[in-house]
Amino acid sequence: MKKISVFIFASVLFAGCGSPASKSNSADTNQQVKSPTESAETISYYLKEGADSINNGDVSNAIKNFGEAIKTNPQDSRAYALLGQAYMRLQRYDQAAEAFSTGLKFNPENGHLNYLAAVTYGLQGDKEMATQHAQKSVQIFQDTHDEENFKRSLALLHGLLKPNNP
């Protein structure tokens, strides 16, 4: 039964609910960032490069790019969401959970981060934390009328609340 639960969590994770990286083709990464516009362009550059690296199977380069985005703006929750997803692909769930938790400190009402945190904690076997984040994501997606992600979060929550789920 535990193998089935892990498979369900992994399937839900890879089915979606992650937020795509912003797109930008212009940023000089060797310049020191001075203005908010330059900072936003630099972050977008790193997020796009990281997403491209993931798509090309280079997860380690993606992690470096997401880390650079975080150095540019340590409060950008998108970078933490993408960093956590990269760690999940490597099955480094402790680091993924840390990335999602940090992102949630800056954006606690982010349904995607709560969903991803729930999946990660579920994979780690922490049913209490997984349930807490799943409930939060269900509420956020319900409040924002995001039906597709609401259904995904609700399915995850139901899976977590089944009595035979460890």
Tell whether 134 is covered by a domain.
yes
- Counting the structural domains of the chain, the total is 1
Assigned token pair, 20: 């795509």
Tell whether 15 is covered by a domain.
yes
Tell whether 46 is covered by a domain.
yes
The CATH number of residue 76's host domain is 1.25.40.10
Which pLDDT does position 37 carry in this prediction?
Answer: 77
Tell whether 166 is covered by a domain.
no
pTM for the model stands at 0.77
Range of the domain at 144: 2-20+27-161
Q: Is 30 left (phi over 0), alpha (psi -120 to 50) or beta?
A: alpha
Which pLDDT does position 33 carry in this prediction?
Answer: 40
Dist CA 99 CA 85 (whole Å)? 9
Q: For 32, how many CA atoms within 13 A lie in the half-sphere containing its CB?
A: 1
Tell whether 12 is covered by a domain.
yes
From first to last of its 166 residues, what are the pLDDT tens digits of the chain? 444 343 334 334 434 444 433 333 334 444 454 466 778 899 999 999 999 999 999 999 999 999 999 999 999 999 999 999 999 999 999 999 999 999 999 999 999 999 999 999 999 999 999 999 999 999 999 999 999 999 999 999 999 998 864 5
- ∠98-6-47 over CA atoms, to 5°? 40
Tell whether 39 is covered by a domain.
yes
